[in-house]
Amino acid sequence: MIFYTCIARTFDGVVLAEAQHPTTGGNGDQIMRTLMDRLVEIPEAIPPSTGKTFSQRSKGETGDFFADMLFCTGGYIFMDGGSEIDHFFHVWNYDGIYYSCISDDDDNRAQQVNFDFLKELQTNFKKQSNAHRIAQAKELDFQKKWLPNIRSKSHYYNTNHTELRRGKPKQKNCTFRKSGFPAYDQNLITTIQIILN
């Protein structure tokens, strides 16, 4: 299930539009803004035209939040996480915009569907938004226009998740790795733990 979605600029992390699932609460907006801030500091963590997934581990070896990035062959990251992973933070970087969502889908085919959702948002957002306005926008300037669109699309993908993931191949050869940026890992872990506490 997709709990939270946001659209943010890559160069400064400003959230242009966001939506929380109507039946869930939580601090997804705070966590995602923290992630966006970190991605602004280290943009090479998610190069353009790629997607990455971060995970919140409830029973990990270290208990660190976002300590590991999941890497897999190809442009996406998928993994069968079992009961150890509670939430996945999917980020798709395209043409200066991060399209991101938080989900609890531990099946990698369901995670592929979440990236399909983000790509559909990306296509619609780029078609309907002026590049100059995007570059000049302040926090949540696109909220009024995009909140209904994001909610409608996330509802569709949540409602049809099982059907949409049929036929998606299971990804193989996935491994856990640190992000490769130790200062980034530690700084992000500390910041997220502060928010969660």
Compute the distance between CA of residue 189 and CA of residue 164 in angstroms, rounded to an integer.
33
Residue 34 has pLDDT above 50, yes or no: yes
Tokens 């049929």 correspond to 166
Apex 45 CA angle, 43 and 48, nearest 5 = 65
Say whether pTM exceeds 0.85. Answer: no
| Per-residue pLDDT at 47 exceeds 90 | yes
Query: What pLDDT shows up at residue 79?
Result: 34
Euclidean distance between the first and the last CA atom of the chain, given in angstroms as a whole number: 24
- What pLDDT was estimated at residue 58? 56
Give which of 3, 14, 8 is closest to 138, Cα–Cα: 14
Higher pLDDT, 103 or 172: 103
pLDDT at residue 181, as a whole number: 53
Say how far apart CA 183 and CA 179 lie, in whole Å. 10
CA dist., res. 121 & res. 188, Å (int): 26
Nearest CA-CA partner of 77 in 65, 94, 67, 89: 89
Q: Residue 62 has what pLDDT?
A: 44
SS3 141: coil
Is the model's pLDDT at 175 over the cut of 90? no
Backbone angles phi, psi at 133, to 5 degrees: -65, -40
In this prediction, residues 107-129 reach a mean pLDDT of 93
